[in-house]
Each structure stands twice: as structure tokens, then as C-alpha cells.
Amino acid sequence: MGSSRNLTLYVDLLSQPCRAVTIFCSGMIDDDDDDDEDARVNEIEAVVQIVSFVKKETREPLFLAINPLGQVPAIDDGGFTLSESHTIMRYLAATRKVADHWYPEDLEKRACVDRMLDWHFGNLHRDVAQFLVHRELAPLLGRTKNPTLAAEAEDSLKQSLKTMETVWLKDSPFLAGGSQPSIADISSACELQQLKLLDKEEPGALLAPYEKVKAWMVAVEEFTAPYFMDAHCVLEKVAQIFEDRRKCEAEAEVETAPKL
């Protein structure tokens, strides 16, 4: 289905759900490929508005009129406003010209995508957030790191990765089955990509034992290239800052260590 409405997308690429929506709509970043029949990304016409939560722009009255909760991502589709990344992707898949595999019309296939979106919310999303906060980010958020909570989240995350390896990706290259990705793949891949904040070289040493998960991450990135990495450029910079800080702290420790 097409739409002649004017769409505005409000995002901050520091946020995982914003990156997912941005990648899904990637045509709006580069719509020079209109005539390219091989283009595998969607080409959703939209104005992209960056709303920084660090600069508290999400709390400004103009944005609160779009989303009273003061959270990104949000959209304004010709006056109809909406929030929640999974909801936005479902809605855009239904109202724009988007390849069927992202959110299939077939009710069973669609249910398999819905299941993965809900599973993501109740597992990966919860665990990655808790793990990152209590392993690394807490001081930046004015909170205290809690090693017990970091360990609990790590255990739960390992269980989820095992589920991906042995159930969801057991016989399929993508989470909801089929040979092409769905919006659930974008959402979950963006979630795990955040583990780079802990390990710059790959998205988390945590992923090392999970061969199918790693292959799936590469497949999602390749399918949505170059938009997946484009949307993660801000995360890459933050990951580099963390890496540099860890090196500085390690060097400082060596310098202050008592000499034998």
C-alpha cells in the first residue's frame, strides 16, 4: 500500500530502537536508488528529525506534542502520531510500499514475526539493557553499578543467545523463518550490536560461542548494507571512547602498581 502523507521520523541514533526504525526506513536516508530494482532496502519517504535526549530535546513542548512520553523514536504521519519502535515498523509496513518479508501478509508468517518481536522485548531488550547499565553505563546515568545485577543479566542473556542458536536460528538464517529478514531481525540485531560498547572488536565477546547468532548478525548487516553500519556510526564513536577510556585506566593501573 502506498501513502501520499507527509511522514516525519523523530530519532536519536544513540538509541537502539531508533536505529532499528531508521534502518527499516533506510530509503529515506538515500533515495537515489528509486530506479534500482535490486534495492533490498525499503524506500520510505520521510523527513528525519534528530531529537537529542542528551540535550533534553525530548522534553521540549514541541516534541511532547508529538509524543507526550518524551521518548524517541516517534513519527508524525500527516497528523497521526505514534511511538514504540515495533509499532512504528508494523504501521509503516502496512501503510507504505514495503517488501512482504519484512512483515508478511500471510497470517501464520506474520504471527512468527510478531512472536519474535515480543520475545525480543521480554528477553534480549531487558537483558542487554540491564547488562550494559550495570557493567558499564551506570555512572553516566547517575546510578551505581551493581555487579550482582550485571551477572544476573549476563546469565539470562546467555540463555537467550542459546535459545537463538538452538531454536530460532536452528533451521533458518533469520529469526522468524524464511530466507529473508523481517523487522524482528533488524530489532534484535541492533540490540546485540550494542554489546560493542563492551568489546570494540566484535559485538561482545559474549557472542563468541554462538556460531549461528554471529552468522545471522552478518547476514542482517549485509542484507541492509550500507544502512545498518550507517545507523550505528554514533554507537561506533561511543564504543571508541569507551575503549580509549578502558586503555587509559589500564595504563594508569600499571603506572601506579608497586614496582617489584
Q: Does 105 help bind a second copy (rule: CB under 8 A)?
A: no
**Which DSSP string do the residues of 47-112 spell out, in sequence order?**
EEEE--TTTTGGGSHHHHTT-TT--SSEEEETTEEEE-HHHHHHHHHHHS---GGGS-SSHHHHHH
Q: Which of residues 137-166 bind a second copy (CB under 8 A)?
A: 149, 163
- DSSP 3-state assignment of 30? coil
Using CB under 8 A as the binding rule, whether residue 83 contacts a second copy is answered as yes
Distance CA 220, CA 218 (A): 6
Cα–Cα dist 102/44, whole Å? 13
Rounded Cα gap, residues 202 and 85, in angstroms? 25
Please, which residue, 103 or 242, has the CB nearer to a second copy?
Answer: 103
User: Considering the rule CB under 8 A, would residue 86 count as an interface residue with a second copy?
Assistant: yes
The only residue of 63, 103, 119, 216 in contact with a second copy, by rule CB under 8 A: 119
Report if residue 90 touches a second copy, rule: CB under 8 A: yes
Which among 56, 53, 119 is positioned nearest to 86, based on CA atoms? 119
Q: Which helix (H) or strand (E) holds 209?
A: none
As a whole number of angstroms, the distance between CA 207 and CA 210 comes to 6
What DSSP line would sit under 133-182, residue for residue?
IIIIIGGGGT----HHHHHHHHHHHHHHHHHIIIIITSS-SSTTSSSS--
Shortest reach from residue 214's CB to a second copy, in Å: 21
Residue 248 binds a second copy (CB under 8 A): no
Tally of helices (H runs) and strands (E runs) in the chain: 10, 4
What's the min distance (Å) between Cβ of 45 and a second copy?
18
Q: How far is the CB of 83 from a second copy (least distance, A)?
A: 6
Tell me whether residue 104 or residue 239 sits nearer to a second copy (CB atom): 104
Closer by beta carbon to a second copy, 176 or else 231: 176
Q: Which is nearer to a second copy, 4 or 256 (CB)?
A: 4
Q: Does 53 bind a second copy (CB under 8 A)?
A: no
115 binds a second copy (CB under 8 A): yes
Of 45, 57, 114, 154, the residue at the interface with a second copy (CB under 8 A) is: 114
Min CB(149)–a second copy separation in Å: 8
Among 57, 84, 154, 243, binds a second copy (CB under 8 A): 84
Do 132 and 197 touch, CB atoms closer than 8 A? yes
Only one residue has cell 550494559, namely 132
Site membership for a second copy, residue 135 (CB under 8 A): no
What is the nearest approach in angstroms of a second copy to the Cβ of residue 226? 28
Residue 49 vs 146, nearer CB to a second copy? 146
Q: Under the rule (CB under 8 A), what is the footprint of a second copy?
A: 68-69, 80, 82-87, 90-91, 94-95, 107-108, 110-112, 114-115, 117-119, 121-122, 125-126, 149, 163, 167
